[in-house]
Amino acid sequence: MNRFYIELPHGTVAKKVKLEDLQAATRQIFRPYQVDFADTFWWSAYSIGQRLADHFSKANRVFLTGDACHTHSPKAGQGMNVSLQDGYNIGWKIASILKGQTGPELLKTYVIERQRIAEILINWDKVWAKQMASMGKDAGGVLDADGNIDFSEIFVKAEAFTAGLTVIYDDSSITRAKGSSQQLATNLIVGMRFPSIQVVRFCDAFPMQLVRALPSDGRWRIVIFAGDIRQDAASRKLNQVSYASDQLAYVLIYQLGEYLFSDGGLIQKHLPPGSDIDSFIEVIVVLFGERLKIDQEQIPQCFWPVTGKWQMRGRANPDYLLSLLTTRLDLHKIYIDDESYHGGHGHAYDFYGVHPEKGTIAIIRPDNCK
């Protein structure tokens, strides 16, 4: 089975196109090879147009997503991808409001975020469609060494955009580049999707992509890059507060950890009554160093809280296997940037541009998860 996209001569009226026209055009394109059609399962003809809705929302109550607010050429697999991202964006926000976690003003960020992406999409598609139809570099095409249009180069450039990996959201009530210390994680761009790299799960040495620790379940995540807690200074971040001025950064990170879980802290403040401590905001710790030289007990218990169906810590005990099957272990909140037994080393701190002695904290939105 094959799928053909066939560009018809300029001025063709889509409604007047017949299947025989498409088959004849295909035969023409493939000449001198011969093409026979045993069957045509589906076909359609439409005019390519780059169109953008004037408004993505009416009174913050009615919202447009996907093709309803942006249409373009079907040539780079971007339509469904961008449409799904629109849908996910508005979806988690509506869910959050319905669960009583926030007010309807959150919905304004949908328009702030997605309307600009749609504009970028349409502008990009104009260039892309022109390159696809062009015969040479002068007409906007990219040529390879043999003087042919180099679509592989164009496709590679398009891939990251299509996957939503180049999107940077502007500041709003849920994105704060201006208040962030970007230099503490040089490759973790505020407003962009949280990229994933391999880390080692601390409790069982399992090598895995960090994004797997962030399932798409509507929760916010605070990822603490706590550094190398074998080092004296770094361990103070997690265990003992020191107020020496040169260790201010460590103290601040430590204090944040303590504050997060305290009675008046951020997590308790937003926690629905009677729910697990990690049910709205989950804290994930990514350490740096050698897993075997760090003891679980060195990591304060607030970072591996009692939670889950059986309200247990899930420590290694005779019921360990059973608990693996029946509950989401709290020990799964701690990871380390270390060599794994069989899966190599992810070098996560390098990847994110985080200095192991300084550490940093990243706040991950619900739509940045797996």
| HSE-up of residue 244 (Cα within 13 Å, Cβ side) | 8
Instruction: Pick the piece of the chain touching ligand FAD (CB under 6 A) from 25-33, 75-83, 152-160, 297-305.
Output: 75-83
- What's the min distance (Å) between Cβ of 68 and ligand FAD? 6
Residue 77 interacting with ligand FAD (CB under 6 A):
yes
50 belongs to the binding site for ligand FAD (CB under 6 A)? no
Among 362, 324, 20, 18, smallest CA distance to 175 is for 362
Which string of x and - marks every residue 238-277 that binds ligand FAD (by CB under 6 A)? ----------------------------------------
Give the shortest CB-48-to-ligand FAD separation in angstroms.
10
- Tokens 């994933």 belong to which residue? 196
Q: Name which of 90 and 214 has its Cβ closer to ligand FAD.
A: 90
Nearest to residue 80, comparing CAs of 121, 47, 115, 22? 121
> Letter for the amino acid at 295?
D
Structure tokens at 261: 């879980």
Sole residue written with tokens 């949908």 = 110
DSSP of 303-346: GS--BTTTTB---SSTTHHHHHHHS--GGGGEEEESB-SSS-B-
- CB of 62 closer than 8 Å to CB of 83: no
Measured from the CB atom, the residue of 71 and 198 that comes closer to ligand FAD is 71
Which of 56, 79, 113, 348 contacts ligand FAD by CB under 6 A? 79
164 binds ligand FAD (CB under 6 A): no
State which residue has the least CB distance to ligand FAD. 66
CB under 8 Å to 23, separation ≥6 — which residues? 37, 40
In the block, tokens 């598609």 appear at 125
Give me the count of residues in the chain: 370
Stretch that binds ligand FAD, among 63-71, 120-128, 335-343, 356-364 (CB under 6 A): 63-71
d(CA 191, CA 126): 25
CB of 67 to ligand FAD, least distance (A): 4
Looking at 83, 172, 182, 196, which residue binds ligand FAD (CB under 6 A)? 83
- Rounded least distance, CB 90 to ligand FAD, Å: 12
* Of residues 43 and 341, the one with the C-beta less far from ligand FAD: 43
Q: Please give the Cα distance from 67 to 354 (Å, whole number).
A: 39
Using CB under 6 A as the binding rule, whether residue 91 contacts ligand FAD is answered as no
Binding site for ligand FAD (CB under 6 A): 66-68, 74, 77-81, 83
